Amino acid sequence: MSCAETFAGYALRSLGIGERLLPRSDFTLCEQVVLIGSGMIWNVYFAVFALAFGFFAATAVAVARASERWWLREPARAFIFVLRGSPLFIQFFIAYETFVLIPKAGIDINLGFIEITAETRWLTKAWLGALIVLFLNTTAYTAQIFHGALMSVPKGDLEAADSIGMPPFRRFRRIVFPSMLRLAWASYTNEAIFLFHATSLVFFSSFPAWRQAGDALYYANYFADKTFNPFIPYPIIAGYFIAFTLLLTIGFGFVNRHLNRHLRESR
């Protein structure tokens, strides 16, 4: 099989498209690169969606954490403490065991005038279950970063906004939120990189890989197990991660420049 054929057959293998059977012996370098790259689709999927949803949720949690009302502040504090204080690995296990206990058929929610069936069977699948865990985890870490930044927004800015009679929500949107992002962005970039790296843990999270469609580490581990030679698949997956981390850093760098565009270019 030539490399182009391998690519056509296996590039989307992790989504269940293409060849059904994985190669069993005499692995070529091309097969390893293509299959591990195919698995990277899942890592990128987890990172993108967890970060995208987590960003907004974290803003809400950070604001709640800074609230003067105790019934908003304390739950936010507890949420952050539990998720930041425990290993992601344990969180994966707990989430999986919990999701397994939820009845597969769905839960009927009776709202009086209409009955809704909440779909629960997807929760035990990695694409949703693991995503929820990663989302909650990054929400907690990001909320802590945002909360720190929120506390460092200069008081003078808020007083200026109040003095011209800005309503609270507009004050948040125009003054507090942009300042918070600006202050938090460097740490948030780090968190995004950590989360992206954490997606490789999904492989061990006990969410089963269905029909051998797994993430990058699933395939790397498959090759390493079959050939008993770690010196090819692991450097390949490392290369992929370095490349995507670089892309992530560049992307976040652009946003950083956009956030600080009003400042004099500092070198």
Partner 1 sequence: MFTYCQEPGLLSGFDWWSCYLTTGKHLAFYGSFGTVMMLLLLTVPLILILGFAGALARRASFAPVRWLGLIYTSMVRGVPDIVFFLFALIALDQGIEYMRHIVLCPDWSEPIRQGNDFRVCDIAKMPLSSAPQWQHEVYGFFLAMVGFAVVFGAFAANTIYGALCAVPHSQLETGAAFGMTQRQVFRRILLPQMWVYALPGLSNLWMILIKATPLLFLLGVEDIVYWARELGGAKTGRFEYPHPDWRLGYFLALLVFYLFLTWISERIFARLNARVSRGQATMGGTV
Our CB check for partner 1 shows the closer of 98 and 260 to be 98
Nearest approach, Cβ of 229 to partner 1 (angstroms)?
7
- Torsion sign, CA atoms 7, 10, 16, 17: positive
Virtual torsion, Cα 163, 169, 173, 174, nearest 10 deg? -20
Give first-to-last CA distance, the chain, whole Å: 52
For residues 61 and 74, give the distance between their C-alpha atoms in angstroms, rounded to a whole number. 11
Nearest approach, Cβ of 87 to partner 1 (angstroms)?
4
Judged by the rule CB under 8 A, the positions of this chain that interact with partner 1 are: 25, 81-82, 84-91, 93-94, 97-98, 101, 197-198, 200-201, 204, 217, 220-221, 224, 226-231, 234-235, 237-238, 241-242, 245-246
Nearest approach, Cβ of 166 to partner 1 (angstroms)?
31
Our CB check for partner 1 shows the closer of 168 and 251 to be 251
Nearest approach, Cβ of 113 to partner 1 (angstroms)?
35
Our CB check for partner 1 shows the closer of 176 and 202 to be 202
Our CB check for partner 1 shows the closer of 227 and 256 to be 227
Q: Which amino acid is at 201?
A: L
